[in-house]
Structure 1
Amino acid sequence: MPDTTTFLIVGGGLEGLSIAYSLADHGETDVVVLERDTLCSGMTAKSSGVVRCHYGTPSLAAMSWYGIDVFTHATEIFGDDMSFRQCGYLVGVGDDNVKPLEATVAMMQGLGITTDFVDHDTVAELWPGLHLDDFARFAYEPLGGRGEAYMTGMAFAATARKMGVTIRQGTTVTELLTDSGGSVYGVQVADGSQIHAEHVILANGPWAPTLAAGAGVELDVKAQRAQLVLVDQGVPTPEVPVLSDLAALQYICREPNGELLMGNSDHQTPEFVDPDRYVNRADDDAIEKNVVKLAHRLPDMPDPRITGSYVGAYDVTPDYNPIIGPSPVDGLFLATGFSGHGFKISPAVGKLVADLLVDGTTTLPNVDADDFRYSRFAEGDLLFSLHPYEGAGEMR
């Protein structure tokens, strides 16, 4: 006889584990998580761990704000600090993006998010050595910062297990099981076994479309290559805020060892890849662009050198916002397409999914669950930023 459960989560990464914890927190412990490899070994392991609320979409900003509260109180909730460092988050824009910055900050403040404008002198104190002449205005979130996606996911997993959730690693789902009416009632596992469930939740990022297609659900989710470069300035960088440089279209984070992690904020020409087959190092062109941008932004680095690079893949949707909600097929729930936002909103994702599955609505403040519905793409009602930044696409 096949195993049975009420809630079956496919994907043991950050989002799947957050969902498992939140279901248990709702009192639902008949939950099974299936991970084909080891926990958080997929795209969770490639996250840059930036924590910010600076979004032009109110629901996304509100979900990030909820996440910051969870990260801040992680030790009390999980007995684990999740390696969150509240170093702050700084956004700098050129003249062409001052109006979107001002509108976004006003929107965020209206949601109760702690953010405000800061001047050039303040920025020079927050991050000594930055070249600031091409910035026209700055916004600062003192409660933002950096976290570690792997540590966060493992904290969700440990707590969920203690609450009664079952987690199975090394368990590959090969297909969704459907009945004669098309409803999903479980999964087929690579070892030949089956697991039946009332609710199957796809939370496996860029791998979700293949499984969904077998149940007749088309997911427009692609894996977008994201190249990151690590630089040692020659001396360890002191504690500084995460910098979203929307003048040069890059972001810069301080790593725990004092190195700098650089990522790209220009998504006008995305590169899509097979999430199982791509080169895990930045290409020469990306490295050169990062080096030129960093040398411009930090012209007085004492002895800079590249120490490494790696590549992740965002699971992106056409509007760069996630799909969270029921699929068109009974029994199948979707939590995918996080488009680079997944880490910071992961606590809210878990709560939103659990709320919708258990209660049919959510109590997340200022979050409209309808924003993330699957049907918005067919309806032509995409979830775009209210105040997009020139050049930065929909990632901000």
Structure 2
Amino acid sequence: MTDSARVVIVGGGLEGLATAWSLAERGETDVLVLERNTLCSGMTAKSSGIVRCHYGVRSLAAMAWHGVQVFSSADEIFGTDIGFRQTGYIVGVGANNVAPLDANTEMHRELDVPVEAIDADEVTRLWPGIALDDFAAFAYEPLGGHGDAYMTGMAYASKARRLGVRIRQSTEVASLLQRENGEVYGVLLADGSEIHADTVVLATGAWSPTLGATAGIDIPVRVQRESILLVDQGMRTPDVPTFSDLVNLQYIRREPNGDLLVGNSDHSQPEWADPDAYSNRADDDVVATAIGKLDRLLPHMPDPRLSSSYAGCYDVTPDYNPVIGPSPVPGLFLLVGFSGHGYKISPAVGRLAADLLLDGISSDPAVDGDDFRFSRFDEGKPLVSLHPYVGAGEMR
């Protein structure tokens, strides 16, 4: 049997579901989302959920600011809690990165992002016990914080369904269907059935290259494994801002149970992985390095111990920024390569994707859809920060 929809979205994670919701909000409800397992069961469920606008790419900063506004109004928009906690966000840099911090912060102000420079005394007030000898300057976003990517994705799905979008789980796509002229006109499922579409949206993250290859497209995405530690300080961590340490290249935030979530910001030596076969715990050397960095930042933890660890994978492009837009093959639209940025910008990703699919142009003057074009890699024009940080340029 053959089903059909105007838009078929392959991938039921954050970006695919955000796009389904945004299309439906625009009135395009003949949308079918296909998820091979259950919604948000892939890398969405592994997200650290950091919410910040601090980017050196103007479009990304604007997209993250839109995300903050959506997350802040989640109860009204979705009718449910998405796990967003507006604890604030602090980024701290060493003397070698003060100039890019100042330049990026000024750009954020131009975008109307609430941000301010604060001194070490104010940081200590916001996070008692933190050691700041390594740092020369700080920026503070009072409306930043962290959220729950799984809860957020499920809220997108619920809203999309209420607006008329269809969602099928346990539905694996085996390949893309192409006409003789190369145009993609649907998908072939693992059970042998077909679903036809005017446009197929590929939102399969780390699995995108495999499906892209079935249409002859070499999608420049690699799979980078990253570990997360959950640390019990020996006391419940109070409600403190998310902290991004661009000196020791780490980030930390409070978990709902009072543990610390500790992540890595050093991507100079990536560990490439198979998204279907990787260890779901942090390696011993990774734990030792992370704990050493954390102990330097928080030297007065009363009785620190590792509660647990897990690992997830980024789908990274050569410039560590996403591809959002038409592929070289007609009929196929790409939402891939989010490189760790996906949670905070997901509401804007959905909006931009809907704009490009329906109108061919971004509706937000601060977000240039051309920034995320597929062809930028062949053109030798990667999307990079105007004011990169020494040591942390990949994620900024």
What SS does the corresponding residue of 1:378 show, helix, strand or coil? coil
In the other structure, the counterpart of 2:215 is 215
1:231 maps onto 2:231 in alignment = yes
Residues 288-334 of structure 1: CA deviation (Å, up to 9, x unaligned): 01111111111111111100000010000000000000001110000
After superposition, where does 1:197-346 map in structure 2 within 5 Å?
A: 197-346=197-346
2:167 is matched with which residue?
167
- Equivalent residue letter for 1:222: R
1:57-136 alignment runs, 5 A limit? 57-136=57-136
For the 8 Å contact 1:62–1:366, the answer to whether it is kept is yes
Q: Distance in 2 between matches of 1:365 and 1:144?
A: 23
The answer as to whether partners of 1:233 and 1:303 remain within 8 angstroms in 2 is yes
Distance 1:132 1:381 in 2: 37
For the 8 Å contact 1:6–1:197, the answer to whether it is kept is yes
1:130 deviates by 0.2
* Cα distance in structure 1, aligned partners of 2:284 and 2:365: 44
The 8 Å contact of residues 44 and 149 in structure 1, kept in 2 or not, is answered as: yes
Q: 2: CA distance between counterparts of 1:364 and 1:128?
A: 39
In the TM superposition, residue 394 of structure 1 has moved relative to its aligned partner by 1.6
Deviations 1:184-221 (A, max 9, x none): 00000011110000000000101111111111111010
- Say which SS state the counterpart of residue 277 (structure 1) adopts: coil
Q: Is the 8 A contact 2:240 2:254 kept in 1?
A: yes
Q: Which residue matches 1:141? A: 141
Matched to 1:182, the amino acid is G
Match of 2:37 in 1: 37
Structure 1 residue 393 displacement after superposition: 2.8
How many angstroms does 1:365 deviate by? 4.0
Q: Distance in 2 between matches of 1:271 and 1:83?
A: 30
SS for the counterpart of 1:90 is strand
**Counterpart code for 2:114:** T
What amino acid maps onto 2:306 in structure 1?
A: I
Query: Which residue in 2 is equivalent to 1:187?
Result: 187
Structure 2 equivalent of residue 377 of structure 1: 377
Q: Distance in 2 between matches of 1:38 and 1:319?
A: 30
Which runs of 5 or more structure 1 residues have no equivalent in the other structure? none
Indicate if the aligned counterparts of 1:230 and 1:261 stay in contact, CA closer than 8 A: yes
Structure 1 residue 78: Cα displacement: 0.6
Is the deviation greater in 288-297 or in 367-376?
288-297
The separation in 1 between residues aligned to 2:210 and 2:301, in whole angstroms, is 46
Q: Distance in 1 between matches of 2:393 and 2:274?
A: 22
Residues 313-322 or 96-105, more deviating = 96-105
Q: Is the 8 A contact 2:19 2:354 kept in 1?
A: yes
Mapped partners of 1:291, 1:205: distance in 2: 29
Aligned equivalents of 2:4, 2:246: Cα separation in 1: 49
**Equivalences for residues 2-21 of structure 1 within 5 A:** 2-21=2-21
Tell me the SS of whatever aligns to 1:394: helix
Determine if contact 1:91/1:245 at 8 Å carries over to the other structure.
Answer: yes
Report what 1:52 is aligned to.
Answer: 52
Note the alpha carbon deviations across 1:100-158, whole angstroms, 9 max, x for none: 11111011111111111000110010000000111100000000000000000000001
- Conserved 8 A contact 1:71-1:81: no
1:388 aligned partner: 388
Whether the aligned pair in 2 keeps the contact of 1:268 and 1:393 (CA below 8 Å) is: no
What is the CA-CA distance between 1:366 and the residue it aligns to? 0.3
What is the CA-CA distance between 1:83 and the residue it aligns to? 1.0
**Identity across the alignment (%):** 64
Question: How many correspondences in the alignment?
Answer: 396
CA contact (8 A) 2:385 2:393 kept: no
The alignment's TM-score, normalised by the length of structure 1, stands at: 0.99
Moved over 2 A (4+): none
Letter in 2 for 1:148: D
Q: TM-score, normalised by structure 2?
A: 0.99
Following the alignment from structure 1 to structure 2, what is the Cα–Cα distance between the partners of residues 249 and 10? 34
* 1:150 and 2:184 are equivalent in the alignment: no
Aligned alpha-carbon RMSD (Å)? 0.7
One-letter amino acid matched to 2:315: D
Q: Structure 2 stretches of 5 or more lacking a match?
A: none
Q: Can you list the C-alpha shifts for 1:257-304, whole angstroms capped at 9, x where unaligned?
A: 110011111111111101111000000011001111111111111111
Matched letter for residue 139 of structure 2: A
Describe the SS at the equivalent of 1:44. helix
Pair 1:358-2:389 in alignment: no
| Cα-to-partner distance string for 1:14-48 (whole Å, 9 max, x where unaligned) | 11100110010010110000000000000000000
Cα shift at 1:96? 1.0
Is the Cα contact below 8 Å between 1:348 and 1:364 reproduced in 2? no
